[in-house]
């Protein structure tokens, strides 16, 4: 489930292990809801 805090968690995940999959998923989710 995607929460409001998802993007912040995604950024932390990128910083910790270089995996940007969560960030890309969040970006796609935001695009669907705000465009």
Supply the pLDDT for residue 11. Answer: 53
Supply the pLDDT for residue 3. Answer: 53
**What phi and psi values does residue 25 have, to the nearest 5 degrees?**
-60, -40
Supply the pLDDT for residue 32. Answer: 66
Copy the structure tokens of residue 19.
Answer: 């995996």
Other Cβ atoms less than 10 A from the Cβ of 6: the count is: 16
DSSP string covering 24-35, please?
Answer: HHHHHHHHHHH-
> From first to last of its 35 residues, what are the pLDDT tens digits of the chain?
555 555 555 555 555 555 556 666 767 666 666 54
Supply the pLDDT for residue 9. Answer: 52
Q: What is the pTM of this model?
A: 0.23
């Amino acid at each position: 489930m995607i929460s409001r805090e998802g993007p912040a968690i995604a950024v932390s995940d990128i910083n910790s292990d270089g995996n940007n999959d969560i960030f890309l998923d969040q970006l796609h989710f935001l695009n669907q809801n705000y465009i």
